[in-house]
Amino acid sequence: MHPKRLPVPVAATLRGCLLAGMVLALAGCEAREAPLPGGPVAQWPAVGGDVDGQRFSPLTQITPGNVGALEVAWTYRTGDVSSGTGEHGPTAFQATPLVIGDTMYLCSPYNRVIALDAATGTERWVHDPRVDLTGVYTPTCRGVAYWDGGTAGVCSRRILSATLDARLIALDAASGAVCEDFGVNGAVNLRENLGEVRTGEYYVTSAPLVLGNLVVTGAFVQDGQRVDAPPGVVRAFDVRSGELVWAFDPVPPGVTPVSAADAAAGATFTRGTPNVWGAMSADRERGIVYLPTGNPQPDHYGGEERGGRDFYGTSVVALEAATGRPLWHFQTVHHDVWDYDIAAQPVLFEQASGKAGVITTTKVGHVFLLDRDSGKPLFPVEERAVPQSSVPGEHTAATQPFPTLPRPLHPHDLGEDDIWGLTPIDRKACREQFRKLRYEGIFTPPGFETTLAYPGLGGGMNWGSASVNPATNVMIVNSMRVPYTVELRPREEAANLDGNDQVGANAQEGTPYIVIRGAYLSPWGTPCIAPPWGLLTAIDLDSGEVLWERPLGNLNNLAPLGVGRFLEWGGPNTGGSIQTASGLVFIGATLDGYFRAFDSATGEELWRHELPAPAQATPMTYRVSAAGRQFVVVAAGGHGPLAYAAKGPEKLGTLLGDTLVAFALPE
Average pLDDT score over residue span 537-543? 98
pLDDT tens digits for range 67-109: 999 999 999 999 999 988 778 889 999 999 999 999 999 999 9
CB atoms within 10 A of CB 36: 15
Average pLDDT score over residue span 644-658? 53
- Residue 374's φ and ψ, nearest 5 degrees, are -115, -20
When pLDDT is cut at 50, 70 and 90, the band that residue 562 belongs to is low
Q: How far apart are CA 496 and CA 500, in angstroms?
A: 11
pLDDT tens digits for range 370-427: 999 999 999 999 999 999 999 999 999 999 999 999 999 999 999 999 999 988 999 9
Mean pLDDT for the chain overall: 90
Domains of the chain: 39-664 (2.140.10.10)
Among the ranges given (7-21, 218-232, 472-486, 557-571), the one the predictor scored with the smallest mean pLDDT: 7-21
Active-site residues, by number, are 339
Question: 3-class DSSP state for residue 239?
Answer: coil
Average pLDDT score over residue span 333-359? 97
pLDDT at residue 269 greater than cutoff 80 = yes
**Helix, strand, coil fractions of the chain, as percent rounded to 5:** 10, 30, 60
pLDDT tens digits for range 436-471: 999 999 999 999 999 999 999 899 999 999 999 999
When pLDDT is cut at 50, 70 and 90, the band that residue 644 belongs to is very low
CB atoms within 10 A of CB 30: 9
Average pLDDT score over residue span 298-324? 93
Which residues make Cβ contacts (< 8 Å) with residue 417, sequence separation at least 6?
Answer: none
Q: Give, in order, the Cα–Cα distances in Å from 379 to each of 334, 405, 494.
A: 19, 6, 45
pLDDT at residue 588 greater than cutoff 80 = yes
pLDDT tens digits for range 2-40: 333 333 333 333 232 322 232 333 333 344 455 666 789
pLDDT for position 36: 61
pLDDT tens digits for range 128-155: 999 999 999 999 999 999 999 999 999 9
Q: What is the DSSP string of 146-203?
A: EEE-SS-STTSEEEEEE-TTSEEEEEETTT--B-TTTTBTTEEETTTTS----TTSEE
Spell out where 584-625 has E strands.
584-587, 594-599, 605-610, 620-622
Q: What is the DSSP string of 33-59?
A: SPPPSS---B-B-STTSSTT---EE--
CA-closest candidate to residue 665, choices 3, 61, 44, 37: 61
Which residues make Cβ contacts (< 8 Å) with residue 471, sequence separation at least 6?
Answer: 3, 4, 5, 6, 581
pLDDT for position 493: 80
Q: What is the DSSP string of 385-414?
A: E-----STT----SEEEEESSSPPSS-S--
pLDDT at residue 333 greater than cutoff 70 = yes
